[in-house]
Amino acid sequence: MFKKIAISAPVLALAFVSSAALAVPQTHNVQVVADIPGTDFYVQPVNHDTVSQPQQLIWNNTTSKLEGISRDFRAKSFVATGTAPAIKATLLDPAVMRSGTNDIALDVKFNNIPLVLGSAEDVVAAGAANSEIIAPLSITPIEPGVGGYVEGNYTGNVSVLFDAP
């Protein structure tokens, strides 16, 4: 048995307006960033995810070791009136990952030169980066001595300052 229901146009219009009035405004935030290098000096990651996303150190089940990472950077140090200065790098904070009270120290190298906390090291020789070069930043975990690696969820930051004084 079918019943016909008639709805007048004003009532139908009112129903649509009422449902539209119940809509909730939505706000979306989109984070945008830009890193515009100079033409005479820069050290930039080849892949921007290197500095914008966490970099996962992988646990190797076969060796029971934590593996390091290596990411490429573009570097340039140029002076039109002579030899460009060396590019220097230094760690700004201790390079360590933590999980609760457990730490894993990290060995950090740029262009295969070890970086030291608070000490500026020449990572690209004077004149070597007159044209852009590609150099690796490597971060390698140092296996803890007594007891080896301890189970946990480790996080940390590696802060490197590059300069061409």
What is the set of domains in the chain, with CATH numbers? 41-163 (2.60.40.2040)
- Read off the pTM: 0.78
The b/e string for 107-117 (b: 16+ C-beta within 10 A; e otherwise) is ebbbbeeebee
Residue 106 pLDDT greater than 80, yes or no: yes
Residue 16 pLDDT greater than 60, yes or no: no
CB 89 within 8 A of CB 121: yes
DSSP string computed for 97-130: EEETTEEEEEEEEETTEE-BBTB-EEEE-TTTTS
Pairing of strands 69-77, 87-91: unpaired
Give every CB contact of residue 45 below 8 A, 6+ residues apart in sequence: 51, 71, 72, 73, 74, 137
CB 164 within 8 A of CB 84: yes
CB 38 within 8 A of CB 62: no
Confidence of residue 2 (pLDDT cuts 50, 70, 90): low
27-62 tens-digit pLDDT: 888 877 777 777 788 999 999 899 989 999 999 999
Query: What is the structure's pLDDT at 15?
Result: 54
Query: What is the structure's pLDDT at 17?
Result: 55
Q: What does the pLDDT average to over 73-85? A: 83
Q: What does the pLDDT average to over 156-162? A: 95
Confidence of residue 13 (pLDDT cuts 50, 70, 90): low
Query: What is the structure's pLDDT at 1?
Result: 55
